[in-house]
Amino acid sequence: MPVILPVKGVSPTIPSDCFIAPNATLVGDVVMGSECSVWFNAVVRGDVNSIRIGNKVNIQDGACIHCTYEKTKTIIGNKVSIGHHALVHGCTIEDNVLIGMGAIVMDNVHIGTNTIIAAGAVVLENTQCESGSIYAGVPAKKVKDISQELIHNEIDRIANNYIMYSTWFK
């Protein structure tokens, strides 16, 4: 069974159509939208501040979502894919975003709609990632504008596939 715990009397809110893997952890002030999935060994830790997750979000294996006490909340929009072992911390991610495997997104980062953060990228504190862009590297920098083909063939495809994958476990 997943670890789902209250913190200071506040428990995660998880709609019944979400998939939570048996060894995922969700604690505290976490509110999820519909058709989300939290995969194996992922941690969503709303113990020191709030975490808000939109609809059709997938948090893949080993990812960690957290925030900073009395400073930063984490806000994740709709149709966001957070890749395996990514770290998302105290930031805002708009709709239709792909956070690549092993990427790190730090406090007070704002990622615009239709954006890809490449695998292994480190998005430093206070970075503003413009909509419709691909960011890569350490530290992450804009490398190019995103094509409509990438939006459809990567961002949309991955988000939709994870909704399908979650049905295999229900």
Give φ, ψ of 46 to 5 degrees: -95, 50
CATH of the domain at 150: 2.160.10.10
- 109: helix, strand or coil: coil
- pLDDT score recorded for residue 149: 87
Rounded mean pLDDT of 26-40?
Answer: 98
- pLDDT score recorded for residue 170: 82
How many folded domains does the chain comprise?
Answer: 1
Give φ, ψ of 14 to 5 degrees: -130, 110
Q: Are 90 and 111 contacting, i.e. CB atoms less than 8 angstroms apart?
A: no
Rounded mean pLDDT of 26-48?
Answer: 98
- Asked if residue 129 has pLDDT above 90, the reply is yes
As a whole number, the mean pLDDT across the chain is 97
- Which residue range(s) make up the domain with 136? 3-167
Closest CA to 18 of 31, 3, 5: 31
- pLDDT score recorded for residue 152: 83
For the record, the structure tokens of 91 come out as 């930031």
- pLDDT score recorded for residue 165: 98
Q: Are 143 and 137 contacting, i.e. CB atoms less than 8 angstroms apart?
A: yes
pTM as predicted: 0.97
- pLDDT score recorded for residue 120: 98
Rounded mean pLDDT of 142-153?
Answer: 90
Tens digit of each residue's pLDDT (9 = 90 or more) over 54-104 = 999 999 999 999 999 999 999 999 999 999 999 999 999 999 999 999 999
Residue 3 makes CB contacts below 8 A (sequence gap 6+) with: 23, 24, 25, 26, 27
% of the chain surpassing 90 pLDDT: 95
- pLDDT score recorded for residue 145: 96
What is the largest distance, in Å, between two alpha-carbon atoms of the chain? 45
For the record, the structure tokens of 124 come out as 């430093």
Residue 148 makes CB contacts below 8 A (sequence gap 6+) with: none
Closest CA to 141 of 149, 133, 150, 152: 133
- pLDDT score recorded for residue 61: 98
